[in-house]
């Protein structure tokens, strides 16, 4: 039985995690499929570019990565201190790099005036976005969903591209 990710990840124990996501249905993440003769090398660049894009928005540092033929590995470091130091405006700008921002939050980020109810709504958005921007599950979700959509579109198919949830393991020491 699977365990909720929030019970597996303890930033108090370590901010470093090794994450792995694997493809299903003989799908290729990169490399050459000898059966069909197709090359999927360009997909490695998809992952590398997405990792760069997300690392600039999230409070998650990518320490190392490896893209294999049907899976990829990431060593991630969650920098919760950095996320807590961000201003509300910075949190909204970072969230906006990846997702659409509610109009009231966008108005706040641009320096617009807000009423008391709007300020309360923005405060809620900021805290929600801040917690998600230092969450490994959200980081991996943003990689996997983006790549799955592109790969399924290219393969002209629907359905799962990734084998269930990503795997994560805490890195507690150098071993």
Q: pLDDT tens, 21-63? A: 999 877 778 777 777 777 888 889 999 999 999 999 999 999 9
**Domain for residue 93, yes or no?**
yes
Answer yes or no: do 117 and 153 share one domain: no
In this structure, how many other beta carbons lie within 10 angstroms of the beta carbon of residue 55? 14
Residue 3 is predicted with a pLDDT of 64
**The total number of structural domains that make up the chain:** 2
**Domain for residue 153, yes or no?**
yes
Written as six digits, the tokens of 118 are: 């709007």
Low-confidence ranges of the chain (pLDDT < 70): 1-12, 175
In whole angstroms, give the CA distance from residue 149 to residue 128: 25
Residue 19 is predicted with a pLDDT of 95
Answer yes or no: do 148 and 99 share one domain: no
Written as six digits, the tokens of 10 are: 């303890």
Answer yes or no: do 152 and 92 share one domain: no
Answer yes or no: do 66 and 148 share one domain: yes
**Domain for residue 175, yes or no?**
no
Answer yes or no: do 26 and 72 share one domain: yes
Residue 12 is predicted with a pLDDT of 63
Answer yes or no: do 16 and 73 share one domain: yes
**Domain for residue 66, yes or no?**
yes
Residue 5 is predicted with a pLDDT of 59
Domain that holds residue 12: 5-79+136-170
3-state secondary structure the chain: CCCCHHHHCCCCCCCEEEEEEEECCCCCCCCECCCCCCECCHHHHHHHHHHHHHHHHCCEEEEEEEECCCEEEEEEEECHHHHHHCCHHHHHHHHHHHCCCCHHHHHHHCCCCCCHHHHHHHHHHHHHHHHHCCCHHHHHHHHHHHHHHHHHHHHCCCCCCECCCCEEEECCCCC
First to last CA, the chain: 27
Answer yes or no: do 32 and 67 share one domain: yes
């Amino acid at each position: 039985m699977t365990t909720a990710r929030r019970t597996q990840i303890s930033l108090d124990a370590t901010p470093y995690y090794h994450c792995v996501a694997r493809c299903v249905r003989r799908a290729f993440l990169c490399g050459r499929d000898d059966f069909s003769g197709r090359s999927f090398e360009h997909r490695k660049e998809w992952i590398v570019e997405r990792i760069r894009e997300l690392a600039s928005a999230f409070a998650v540092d990518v320490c190392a990565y490896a893209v294999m033929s049907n899976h990829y590995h990431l060593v991630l470091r969650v920098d919760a201190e950095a996320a807590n130091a961000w201003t509300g405006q910075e949190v909204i700008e970072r969230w906006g790099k990846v997702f659409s921002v509610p109009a009231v939050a966008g108005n706040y980020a641009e320096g617009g005036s807000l009423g008391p109810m709007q300020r309360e709504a923005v405060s809620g958005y900021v805290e929600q976005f801040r917690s998600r921007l230092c969450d490994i599950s959200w980081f991996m979700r943003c990689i996997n969903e983006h790549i799955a959509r592109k790969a399924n579109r290219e393969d002209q198919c629907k359905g799962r591209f990734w084998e269930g949830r990503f795997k994560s393991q805490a890195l507690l020491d150098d071993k």
